[in-house]
A and B are shown apart, each in its own frame.
Chain A
C-alpha cells in the first residue's frame, strides 16, 4: 500500500500515523513476549501489547470495548498471570529451559501461516476502507446500541456466557483448592 493510495482515499493521516506507531510497539512487545527468557518480563511485555490493542480499539471507535479490555485484561487477567508466575515459583531473573527442544520449528510455521493469512487478507479486503469513525455525542449512542444488542438480540448467548463464567469460577476454585 503506497502513500499515493492513502492520499487518494482521503484517509485521515493522523489516524494512520497513530495506528503505525502503536502497531510497531505492539509487534515489538509481542516478539518480546515470545522470546524473552524472564517470565515476569514476558508478562510485563504482554501488558504493552494489551494496552496497544486497547488503543487500537479507541482508534476504531470502539470505546466501550477498549475500556472493557483495560479492565478485564490489564486489570484482572494480568494479576492472575502474575499470581500464576509467583505460585509456580519462577526464578527471579533469567531462566533456562523456557523453550522446547524443537522450538525452531515454530519459525517456519509462523512465517508460512502469516504468508497465507496476508495473501488471503490482501486478496479479499485489499482496497476496502473502514468507515470514518462516527462521532459519539453526549448520549454515547454506540454504547447504548451495544446495550440494546446484548440485552435483546444476544440475550441467550449472554446468559450462556454468564453460566460459562460461573462454571469457570467454581471449577477454578475446585481445581486450585488444597483439601
Chain B
C-alpha cells in the first residue's frame, strides 16, 4: 500500500476541517471541524508508524501509535473544556454565534 494514500486522505480531511473552522458561525460546529483536523493528524501518525515498522529496532513501529494515543487524550480534554466554555457563553448571552463575540475588537 502506498503511503500517499493515507497522507492524501489526511490532507483532504484536514482541509475540510479548516474550511469548517473558517465557514461556520455556530461554536459547536467549529469544535466538530476541529475534531476533523485532529483526526487527520492522527491518520498521518498511524501511516508513519506503519512506514517505520520496517525499522529493525524493537518496537519502532508503535511510536506513531503512542503519539496518536496522546493526541486522542488531549483532544478529549480539549472538547470537554471547549464545550464547557460554549455552555458558559450560551448562558451569558443566549447565543453561541462566534461573530457576536467581538468585545476585544478595537
Contacts and interface: CB of A to CB of B under 8 A. Distances in A.
Contacts, number: 258
Interface string A75-111: 0110011011101111000000111110101110111
A53 B18 contact: no
Interface in A123-153: 125-131, 133-134, 142, 145-146, 148-150
A157 B85 CA distance: 26
A97 B66 CA distance: 40
Q: How many A residues touch the partner, as a band? A: 35 or more
Interface string B48-65: 011101100011011101
Nearest to B13: A30
Interface of A: 1, 5-6, 9, 11-12, 15-16, 19, 23, 26-27, 30-31, 33-34, 39, 42-43, 46, 49-50, 53, 56-57, 60-62, 64-65, 68-69, 72-73, 76-77, 80-81, 83-85, 87-90, 97-101, 103, 105-107, 109-111, 113-114, 117-118, 121-122, 125-131, 133-134, 142, 145-146, 148-150, 154, 157-158, 161, 164-165, 167-169, 171-173, 175-176, 178
